Structure 1
Amino acid sequence: MKSSVAVIGDIDTVTGFQLAGVKINKVVKTNEDAENALDELMNEEISIIIITEKIADNIREYIDKKIGSNVLPMIIEIPDKPGPSGRDSDPMGELIKKVIGVEMVK
């Protein structure tokens, strides 16, 4: 499997990742756009999908349904321009627990 990275986010986030060299990206404005972008990327050989926390929170059920128990593509949620969402859960910790079966303790 070819290893690629893709970004789903607002224009500012996507532009930043483009400047860093990420070539596969989707600028989204609505939840429907985000779901369609995720579908398109799931059909490509993408290993990592970076998505902003705000967008991921808005389509959480859809992400969970599409990814299921699959390890790839790995979904990494990052803060967008306004900063972290301040939620109680830790998606990265949950991902590590899902992948390696060990909970990371702070």
Structure 2
Amino acid sequence: MSSVAIIGDIDTVSGFRLGGVKQAEVVNTPEEAIAAFDKFLDDEISIIIITQLMANEIRNHINRKIGSDVLPMIIEIPDKDGSSEGSSDQINDLIKRVIGVEMVK
């Protein structure tokens, strides 16, 4: 596994493409996001960056597909409109997936 991929709106994806990310999918619907996510899993991408808005839309699908696996690492980023309300704490989720223990604040 190697490489980075981005899933999101046109503005976000364009910014990452300008930054050198070659694996990129512009999505507008949850169905398109699921298709792109599955494609990147099949391509054995190690880091999948996805906008929080799309990640929230396909949260159940992401959890079913990756379960407790460490890779690919899923990184959620705000889209052009900023952070979404109620977004999960990614670092705590990642720690829980990697070591199996939830960090308490």
**How high is the TM-score relative to the length of structure 1?**
0.90
Matches within 5 A, 1:1-106: 1=1, 3-87=2-86, 89-101=88-100, 103=102
CA separation in 2, counterparts of 1:53 and 1:88? Answer: 7
SS in 1 for 2:53: helix
* Root-mean-square deviation (Å): 1.6
Contact 1:76–1:92, Cα closer than 8 Å, also in 2: no
SS in 1 for 2:50: strand
Aligned counterparts of 1:92 and 1:8: Cα–Cα separation in 2: 20
The unaligned stretches of length 5 or more in structure 2 are: none
Give unpaired runs (5+ residues) of structure 1.
none
SS state of the match for residue 6, structure 1?
A: strand
Aligned letter for 1:91?
Q
Question: More displaced, 87-96 or 46-55?
Answer: 87-96
Aligned to 1:21, the other structure's residue is in SS state coil
Using the size of structure 2 for normalisation, the TM-score is 0.91
CA distance in structure 2 between the partners assigned to 1:28 and 1:88 by the alignment = 19
Post-superposition shift, 1:69? 1.4
Aligned pair in 2 of structure 1 residues 78, 88: CA closer, same or farther (>3 Å)? Answer: closer
Q: Secondary structure at the match of 1:45?
A: coil
- Give me the whole-angstrom Cα distance separating, in 2, the residues matched to 1:32 and 1:56: 12
User: Is the CA contact 1:8–1:27 (under 8 Å) kept in the aligned structure 2?
Assistant: yes
Q: How far 1:65 moved relative to its partner?
A: 0.6
**% identical equivalent positions:** 64
Give structure 1 regions of 4+ aligned residues with deviation exceeding 2 angstroms. Answer: 100-106
